[in-house]
């Protein structure tokens, strides 16, 4: 009996140690793919997830949309109000985004104040008699309105509610066939939003199709 009890104690200790090691591994893995400031996924995660999602969308004959955007005049706010205010803008941007996206979508910080949102619904077409799906454009414009009206305390009362974003949306397979071409197209469309005077979202031909005809 003594040997059996000792064996069980050793097994219990091993399982406990393995559980701790597994938890530490998951934490390190998450840290390797996430942005430490905002909690958004990072560029490394974006590239890997997009590659896998596009492959799945190709095989299942489904669509995937990426929105690339940045915060208009972010450098001016950062220089005027300080890095703490700039950090608050970035953190709140991700929080607001996470409040409007779907569970299957991903928010990624791919540069200083540049973000990419992957809109992907792996379940595919909705079932008969289910609620109509919300279009990507509805989600994107709701976020755009939220950030325009959100108050950022560290900017001071005189600057509250003045932030805007400029972005572009590109959709697989019409606007690009891989990560690089989709991201490049979304970047071009984002620059077009800047040229329009900022505070705008510009859609590629494929994104037009998906955003305005979500069924």
- Collapsed DSSP state (helix, strand, coil) of residue 10: helix
Residue whose C-alpha is closest to residue 142's, from 125, 170, 165: 165
Give the pLDDT score at 215: 40
CB of 135 closer than 8 Å to CB of 208: no
CB of 71 closer than 8 Å to CB of 112: no
pTM: 0.79
Give the pLDDT score at 135: 79
Residue whose C-alpha is closest to residue 77's, from 65, 93, 66, 61: 93
CB of 37 closer than 8 Å to CB of 115: no
State the Rg of the chain over Cα. Answer: 21
Tell me the pLDDT tens digit for each residue of 54-113.
998 898 888 899 999 999 999 998 998 899 999 999 999 999 999 999 988 999 999 999
Q: How far apart are CA 145 and CA 199, in angstroms?
A: 10
pLDDT at 39 over 90: yes
Q: How far apart are CA 136 and CA 29, in angstroms?
A: 29
Tell me the pLDDT tens digit for each residue of 141-159.
999 999 988 888 777 665 5
Q: How far apart are CA 7 and CA 20, in angstroms?
A: 20
CB of 178 closer than 8 Å to CB of 58: no
The total of other beta-carbon atoms located within 10 Å of residue 141's CB is 14
Contacts of residue 138, defined as CB under 8 A and 6 or more positions apart, other chains included, come to: 211
% pLDDT > 70, the chain: 73
Per DSSP (E only), the strands in the chain are 64-71, 106-109, 114-119, 165-172, 200-203
Contacts of residue 46, defined as CB under 8 A and 6 or more positions apart, other chains included, come to: 106, 108, 110, 116, 118
pLDDT at 207 over 80: no
Name the residues annotated as catalytic: 113
Q: How far apart are CA 25 and CA 182, in angstroms?
A: 32
């Amino acid at each position: 009996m003594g040997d059996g009890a000792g064996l069980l104690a050793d097994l219990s200790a091993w399982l406990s140690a393995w559980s701790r090691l597994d938890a530490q591994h998951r934490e390190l893995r998450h840290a390797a793919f996430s942005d430490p400031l905002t909690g958004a996924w990072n560029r490394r995660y974006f590239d890997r997830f997009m590659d896998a999602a596009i492959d799945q969308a190709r095989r299942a004959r489904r669509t995937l949309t990426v929105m690339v955007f940045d915060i208009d005049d972010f450098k001016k706010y950062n220089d005027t109000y300080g890095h703490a205010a700039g950090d608050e803008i970035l953190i709140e941007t991700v929080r607001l985004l996470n409040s409007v996206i779907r569970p299957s979508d991903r928010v990624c910080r791919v540069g200083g104040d540049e973000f990419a949102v992957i809109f992907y619904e792996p379940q595919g077409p909705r079932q008969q008699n289910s609620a109509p799906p919300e279009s990507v454009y509805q989600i994107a414009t709701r976020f755009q309105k939220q950030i325009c009206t959100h108050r950022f305390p560290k900017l001071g009362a005189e600057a509250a509610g003045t932030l805007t974003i400029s972005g572009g949306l590109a959709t697989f397979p019409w606007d690009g066939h891989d990560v690089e071409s989709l991201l490049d197209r979304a970047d071009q469309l984002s620059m077009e939003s800047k040229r329009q005077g900022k505070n705008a979202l510009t859609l590629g031909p494929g994104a037009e199709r998906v955003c305005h005809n979500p069924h």
